Amino acid sequence: MPEGDTIFRTARTLDRALAGRVVTSFESVLAPVAAFARAHPLVGRTVEGARSLGKHVLVEFSGGTILRTHMRMNGQWHLYRPGERWRRFRAAMRIVIGTSEWVAVGFDVPVDEFIQAADVVRHPVLSNLGPDLLAPDVDEETVAARLREAGGSVEDALLDQRVMAGIGNVFKSEVLFVCGIDPFRPAATLDTEEALALVRTARRLLRENVIDAATASLPRPGSRTTTRSSNPRTLLWVYGRGGRRCLRCGTTIQVRQKGESARLTYWCPVCQRTA
């Protein structure tokens, strides 16, 4: 699933390609989205910009209309020049935003809707998001307090977008490893310093993966690193490394499946001992 860093880079790239350009075509196979576009035509409007909010991409059009998308597991945005051949089959297309210079295509995007800019603060999902960890003005101490007050395990609290927005399964495991905290420990047992370290580490790792690059290419799978290594085998500390040796202590990395979504947690039993 794309996480906060990927969504941030996706929105930034869409913004660079589309912002300030007039919409020349719009298409969607999604009935509610297509119906809205028929009732409120987008062709002729200007794309005012694109931004991320946690794991959501918001594309803003003149007139106060916003297209909200969430990638879930398989959604992707692609950019093409007009007339360029798509790299995926048309059957996977959900939305197309065309301009004179670029065409943005949303493939397999499962969550798509139009909302009005004035309604964002009342939106049932967006209004309940915790602070976006990639926002420049995050109050880290407030987020740390929210983390300690969350119910359940630390790993569950980190994934709860109502506590903080942007962390997914990869960063959850990586942040807990870097901070040396047992994933299954109750969040309520964290002391102030531990909670603050988790928040600051999460922000640092996310920021390190959105390093600015003046490019029109969208993020590639596997381009994320938390170890600062360029070796494809050691890009991450623990995630995806179950059964392999810990890069720090050599102990075998453990993996556990949890919940209806069968999310995987990776950890080192030595580096992340229970407090």
Which active-site residues does the annotation give?
2-3, 55
> Furthest-apart CA pair in the chain: how many Å?
61
Q: Which residues contact 240 (CB under 8 A, 6 or more apart)?
A: 266
Token reading at 100: 């004179």
CA distances from 8 to 34, 59, 75, 134, 209 (A): 26, 12, 14, 8, 10
- Tokens found for residue 222: 């596997």
1: closest CA among 53, 72, 52? 72
CA trace torsion 209, 211, 217, 219 (10° rounding): 0
Strand partners for 47: 61
- Copy the structure tokens of residue 96: 């197309």
| 140 contact partners, CB below 8 Å, separation of at least 6 | 196, 199, 200, 203
Q: Return phi, psi of residue 124, to 5°.
A: -60, -25
Bridge partners for 65 per DSSP: 61, 116
